[in-house]
Structure 1
């Protein structure tokens, strides 16, 4: 099955969308999930397994668990390429068929752009990893509190300052990654476009639809938090829903003209 890119001479146009459109994206994502449940849930299952492995291997290092959980959110758009491809296949073939293997290899459609994006993301991820561990070192001279203690005493004065500083720093990284990736990654999958151009258009789209994209980011964080709160089980459905819906966000915001 061959799915070609849009011609490179097509010019992307950024449209204004309202916050109410986010619910339509979720509706369309849910529709796609019902059309290809096994393929979509496959990706959700991968995220669930990753979550359990994370807790199992780093259960005695809460600072690593929290840091990697945040990295999960930062790298999520890139890891969801396969889900974007599933939504694209459903769109192209009118929901009649989906090739899971094709979605797993979708990144090959634009190797140079995805490679450079992965390199840039790795730099940001490494930066967050170092900043995160530095936060723990600054606030806890001896040893970090357990994860259970941080959760149970989150609002105590002893831990509140740390949480404000930690999530404040994390928010900066999250805003940067979200802004340069939310539209860029679906676009690089859909069109032969270089990484920097795609990232610039993504930032433009976020700027033009600031309130809408803030709402969309909040929905993503909320759904992911629900997935974490269900001991990762909820991620099996929620991650595919977010990925498929994000493709429709891209389609809603970006059109092309000659």
Structure 2
């Protein structure tokens, strides 16, 4: 397979060697992500717009069924799905770095091509963890707050922040959520761009991703914290911040992957 039809190229099967990285690499990757977004903003706004639209659809659905307060836990878990929207951004960054033409046809063809490759299996992993997050929120609600129904997210926030039961729900939910986010980040941060570029199986990609985090825990988890914080802040103005935050972070993830792994 050549680069005109996808990222895979003539890549060897197997995990690449893992490099040691530092916060300088994280900083450089974020800077490169911003540069890629500025170089091709149309692609970034397109993929960021898809993510923003998804958030608004979820909000409208929850409002229609009378559970608008659920947007808070769902919004917190919503960033877990972001890496799949970023596949197109990986291709944009790859083409920019290689000096290849960045065309709509080429980038979108690569996105659709991924459904035939191992990246599709990662969707099951991500969705599984996302649904664990949703169900554990419901379970913690039942344990700490009973089966109360909240007419609005304002009422939900008031109960959570002003009652002992709400504090317990918030504390345990934060710990569980942080654990699930750490697991998902560790298994996907390198795996997703790696599967987009190389012909490896998704298990190998996940193991490589976890190994990269284990070898470089401080810079990698620091990058994960930055990604989570920026994404959550971008959710606040009706998901509008995702138009810029998602593409910049998607490009940055690609560059961090290239810095953390040896070339094919």
- TM-score, structure 2 normalization: 0.88
Aligned length: 255
List aligned pairs for 1:63-212, cutoff 5 A.
Answer: 64-93=70-99, 97-107=101-111, 108-109=113-114, 111-145=116-150, 146-151=152-157, 155-158=161-164, 159-212=166-219
Candidates 240, 258, 262, aligned match of 1:255: 262
Contact kept, 8 Å, 1:182 with 1:202, in 2: the verdict is yes
Structure 2 residue 219 is the aligned partner of structure 1 residue 215 = no
- C-alpha separation in 2, matches of 1:181 and 1:133: 25
Structure 1 unmatched runs, 5+? none
Structure 2 residue 37 is the aligned partner of structure 1 residue 33 = yes
User: CA-atom RMSD, angstroms?
Assistant: 2.1
| Superposition deviation, residue 162 in structure 1 | 0.9
Relative distance call for 1:63 and 1:135 in structure 2 (3 A) is farther
Contact kept, 8 Å, 1:33 with 1:241, in 2: the verdict is yes
Contact kept, 8 Å, 2:161 with 2:167, in 1: the verdict is yes
Structure 2 unmatched runs, 5+? none
Relative distance call for 1:78 and 1:3 in structure 2 (3 A) is closer
Greater Cα offset, 242-251 or 50-59? 50-59
- TM-score, structure 1 normalization: 0.90
| Superposition deviation, residue 148 in structure 1 | 2.1
Match of 1:51 in 2: 55
Contact kept, 8 Å, 1:205 with 1:253, in 2: the verdict is yes
User: Deviations 1:45-64 (Å, cap 9, x if unpaired)?
Assistant: 11121122221221331453
